[in-house]
Amino acid sequence: MKPIVQISLDLTTIAEALETAEMAIRAGVDWIEAGTPLILAEGLHGIRALRERFPDVPIVADLKTMDGGYLEAEMMAGAGATHVVVMAQAHDETIECVVKAGRDCGVGVMGDNMAYNTMIDGARRLEDLGCDYIVHHIGYDHRRGIAAAGGRMPSPLDDLRAVVDAVKIPVQAVGGLSIEQAIQCPAYGAPLVVLGAPLTIDADAFKTADGDLESSLRLICEKVHAYDEVQR
């Protein structure tokens, strides 16, 4: 698939999410993600507001589903989400229920391998159970905890190529990427580039990052989209 740029709206109000999403779309972002903080704060109202403002833009609902898979996916699809997220740590039956809901409701299913014993095995399991995409994810607390203890902060790029090679479905890398790292993702074989904290969202306050964020997003979008042209 051609490279796609997705912004993660890890925010806590609909107003700020809409404002940030407007700016991201102007900059060339392709997909919008309703991040977990936004879903916790605003629920289905947040998804509906994004869908109303952006009727033609794919919307990822980062549910991180662990149980009640069919209902959660069905509700988000009904509110306007085009993609939902289920965790590799969930029971087989939960993942299968989300996949079934995805087929029934016409939404894509993203499987997140965060905290799985072996990230590569987690990705393979998600593919085997029917997921459409892999989210190769190094968690927020995990990254920050290791850094606070003086260790090297882990990056999703560490095992990204191995995860890409292990599955046949598209992969995205999530977790503390810099601008340079985000731009590198398609070269690793991961065409879905996700921009979140600390790049676009303040990782401490869960507010839109300061500075000329729109220019940074435009630069990333131009370089990621240009990668597809180079490969043709």
Average pLDDT over residues 1-25: 95
| CATH number for the domain that contains residue 98 | 3.20.20.70
Sign of the alpha-carbon dihedral angle for 216, 219, 223, 224: positive
> What DSSP element (H or E) covers 216?
helix 213-231
- Domain holding 180, by residue range, is 4-231
Cβ 160 vs Cβ 136: under 8 Å: yes
Token reading at 195 = 């921009």
User: Average pLDDT over the chain, rounded to whole?
Assistant: 91
Q: Which contacts of 200-204 are long-range, i.e. CB under 8 A and separated by 24 or more positions?
A: 200/7, 200/8, 200/20, 200/24, 201/8, 201/9, 201/10, 201/11, 201/35, 203/140, 203/144, 203/176
The pLDDT value recorded for residue 193 is: 94
Cβ 39 vs Cβ 232: under 8 Å: no
pLDDT more than 70, % of the chain: 91
Strand partners, 137: 174
Structure confidence at residue 153 as a pLDDT band (50, 70, 90): confident
- Model-level pTM? 0.91
- How many domains are contained in the chain? 1
